[in-house]
A and B are shown apart, each in its own frame.
Chain A
Amino acid sequence: MNLKSYVDLVALLEVNPSSREENRAFGLTQVLLKNRPMAQISAWIDLYHNTLKRPLLSETFSSYLYNTTLTLVLMAFVLGFLSGLGLLSYNGAEPVNVIYFMVMVIVLPLATMLLTGISMLRAKSAQSILVHLSPAFWMEKMLSLLPGKIQENITAFKISPLLSNWLIIKRSQMIALFFSVGLLLALLAMVVTKDIAFAWSTTLHITPEVFHGFLTTVAFPWRDFAPSAVPSMELIEQSQYFRLGDTLSKEMITHASQLGEWWKFLAFSTIFYAIFLRVTMFFISSFGLNRALMQSFLTLEGSMRLLKEINEPMISTHAKPTNAAFVSDDMGYGQIVNTLDASYDSVQGWAITKDEILVLSDTIEVITPKHFKVGGTNSLDEDDEVISKSDGEVLLLGKSWEHPANEFLDYVIDLSRKVDKIIIMPIGGSENPYDIKAEDLDEWAKKMASIQNEKVWLKLSTTKLQSGGV
């Protein structure tokens, strides 16, 4: 898992190259990766990598990072080397004050590492103020002013503040490291090519004893195995140098070769404080960056969903979508009667018992010589027999809530061949035959419209209730 795969993942999640099914199939086939989310994500990235548009943003991005880092590192190295040379330049007249070099390789690294430590703790914040101190940060700001499509791509890709903070922290460590390496090389080069007289000098009243104590403390990491790299009391006394006193004491000149012994101490200081500690910082920042990457992977919108799709069984309950949408024909029916006649040649009831038909005829005040039950438990032959007995005008009662099925329509059509007029009357419950729901009536009208027969009429209104009732 690295920055490159992170950028790829972001790009992939945006194009969403795989369906839910494919993701689950991936999860089922990659059994070895089970319960290893990071490994799953990276395998998934590899699988869909080639669906991304070229040039890959991740490649542009990392080559951009690589290039800026390389430039900065080289610059830092050269700068380190040159400052080393400057600090150690010995004109033969004045000795080289080791304090300057010590500041450069001990105090400065320690101070910047402290700042780095603080920015590491604050890396979560959207804008860590301390990050702004880093040369890497400013270098990037400068570069982003350059025109170019690549810049556009990179700026369009919003990297999370957490990541960019860690990126900058890590790269700052590299830059500082190479600066220190430059310093060390300059020291070695100077020591090899020149005979330098080192001295120490300060305005502060520090006795050689105190200074010796201080240096011994500073040299704690190596004083046991490299005692020659710890300046002896004698050396310190000999190399103290007072600017305001006589320029160079006799003693110093006589011990000029001994004064060179300082270089070991300086070299070890550089190696430990500026290089070893920096390398440690570098590893810590690498670790931090990796953790930040992990965080970013896990908080990235879509990555959790992806993992879910890969690992959770895909459950579906629904039907395959059909495109055959149901078209409701909202046809009304033209042939409507509003009031019933006083008598009919026969009254028939669809799936209504004869007794009920009698009661109903009474309630709706219709007189008829013949009552027939049709449909329901009748056999088809029995229905045919009813048809043969029917003539003239027929009042056909049906339960309003049982919308007519085709069987009913079949019967109506057969009957219409025999009789002159059929009035179809949907009825409510036996307590009140006129208590019918409007929706039910609509459904009856729709069904009747589907047969379009001029002999068939539908009794629609419930007026009888208003005039006859109460």
Chain B
Amino acid sequence: MALLRSFLMRLISTAITLFGVAVIVFVVIRVVPGNPIAMMLPPGATDADIARLQAQYGFDKSIFQQFLIWLGDVVQGDFGTSISLRQPVSELVLNRLPATLELSIMALTIAVLLGGAMALLGTRYRGTKAEGAVDIGAGMALSIPDFLWGLVLILLFGVLWPIFNISGRISPALNIDFSTNFYLFEAILRLRFDVIGDLLGHMLMPALALAIPLAAIIAQLLKQSLKETMHLDYVTLARTRGYSEHSVIIHEALPNAVLPTLTLVGVQFTFLIGGTVIIERLFSYEGLGNMAIDAVINRDLPLIQGIVILFALLFTLVNLVVDMLYVVLNPRLRHA
């Protein structure tokens, strides 16, 4: 019962958040200068042509009226038609979403593995040079933002020592027809190892750029949390029972230490998804973020709105998953 109520509250607050986002985006992109219609038409177009097209897209009405019309359509699942690409926004956006999801999840996986390993290492060898190395490494990784890491990686592995693909999502020469846009997921299911290799080769650099700062955050937080947990009585007790130091860290301390880290990683993951906008551009990766930049350049109002709403939805979803995981991993809440 309490669970159902908290779920309903969640749903309502999500709806309110999305509505707020929609209002802000709607107003902001109409207030900034730049006329999408004028950009569509060839230079010789007459004022009458512009007015006709403006009416077709509804831009001749007041912002308030436009918003009501747009909202009415959205409720029915219609996000309008892209001005620059002349296709339904929902179709465009959903086609690109899998690419961004795969990239973000890959980056998150790398960050968790890398940051987790660093935290465990720093805890196992605390008080030694190894811990110092972890601290310094994490500090440095954190002081450089993801897009600069992207540039560094491009210079290193794209220019100086070109072993990875630094452009696109997949080699065009590859002979495969996908039935979904989840290329990596599908390639794994179909056991096409050549395709998996090619996809990973394209993804690794942008994913790494996104992952490095998050890995550093995880390393610092988890190590701190582990350190505090290592002083607790039940960890000491496990030690007196003959367990080795790393068995104590992994089996006794870790399950508790991940809890405070988890919440923050959730928040940071939404930042990471935001980071895909620039990183995808940098690596010409055909995802949502790359499309978002084109949409802004072309003043493609319906498309911008659609993408922003989708990002907002994604963020709330991530938070929901984190909250659920927290309950699953924490027995004190599971039975409450």
- Chains A and B bind each other: no
Q: Which residues of A contact B (CB under 8 A)?
A: none
Q: Which residues of B contact A (CB under 8 A)?
A: none
